[in-house]
Amino acid sequence: MILPAIALAALLGPCGAGATWADHVSTYAEFVQTGSPSGEYLFEFDGDEQFYVDLDKKETVWHLPEFIHAFDYDPLRGIADIVVARKNLETLIQRSNRTRATNEPPEVTVFPKEPVELGQPNTLICHADKFFPPVLRVTWLCNGKPVTEGVAETIFLPSTEFRFQKFHYLTFVPSADDFYGCRVEHWGLDGPLLRLWEAPETTQMPETIETVVCALGLVLGLTGIIAGTIILTTRRPHSIPGCRHSCDKLSVTEEDAGETPGAGPL
């Protein structure tokens, strides 16, 4: 059995006539249940987790650093709300004749945090969304073997229609020889759900093709140089831009200089 509570804490926006709208929204969500975890209490700001109350350590855990010094929240306030919610849960269990809620399976996707470059550190994200109740087991796999180092996870976060979502992270170095998997177990599934991910294949040009392309480029470059030289040497003087009357005089002078000596009148 579970007792969820999602409430609107504040709407921050300018006042005025017309439809109600806000620039920023702050909400809080809490739930208690007979399973594990037994409950959670958290605040969100514009859809991002602002902080949550660690019910075991009885302390506030901040996830948006910009609010740490601007605000303060006494974790005992959240714990007091959880105590009240647990009492209400016991009452509801008795009145409902211990009827269990319907299990809703998660939707699971796996994707990298940054664009993938082989050999460059990255983070894989496994996102489980729209499931109920908030009971989930996630295992990271590398080449079919469980991975326990470099993993992290969020708490259960609110999703649509009073369902939940959760993020799991794995730091890794992409390699063409490795493949990864996110195995999810939930009461709404018939069995473990496995989502695989592997680095996309990089298309490389064969060396022979690279050699041919380079050779063709060199041949075309030389052909262009030779053709340009021939055109310049065969052009008539008057066809040269900016050369008209002076070039005609030059042509006549060259013809006169070519006459044989003594060819004048006797």
pLDDT digits over 220-238, tens only?
Answer: 666 666 655 665 565 555 5
Mean pLDDT for 87-104 is 87
H-run or E-run covering 189: none
Mean pLDDT of the chain: 79
Q: Count Cβ atoms below 10 Å from residue 106 Cβ, excluding itself.
A: 24
Mean pLDDT for 248-253 is 45
**pLDDT band with cut points at 50, 70 and 90 for residue 265:** very low
H-run or E-run covering 252: helix 245-257
Q: Tell me, what DSSP letter sits at residue 259?
A: S
H-run or E-run covering 164: strand 164-172
Inform me whether the pLDDT recorded for 99 exceeds 70. yes
Residue 249, pLDDT score: 47
Mean pLDDT for 101-119 is 95
Q: Which of 20-24, 33-37, 87-91, 133-137 has the least mean pLDDT?
A: 20-24
User: What is the C-alpha separation between 108 and 114, in angstroms, rounded?
Assistant: 19
Inform me whether the pLDDT recorded for 10 exceeds 50. no
Q: Rounded to two decimals, what is the model's pTM?
A: 0.68
Q: What percent of the chain clears pLDDT 90, i.e. is strictly above it?
A: 48
- State pLDDT tens for residues 120-162: 999 999 999 999 999 999 999 999 999 999 999 999 999 988 8
- State pLDDT tens for residues 48-85: 888 999 999 999 998 876 777 677 889 999 999 999 99
Is the backbone peptide bond immediately before 121 cis, with ω within 30 degrees of 0?
A: no
- Residue 134 and residue 172 in contact, taking contact as beta carbons nearer than 8 Å: no
* Residue 5: burial class (beta carbons within 10 Å; 0-12, 13-18, 19+): middle
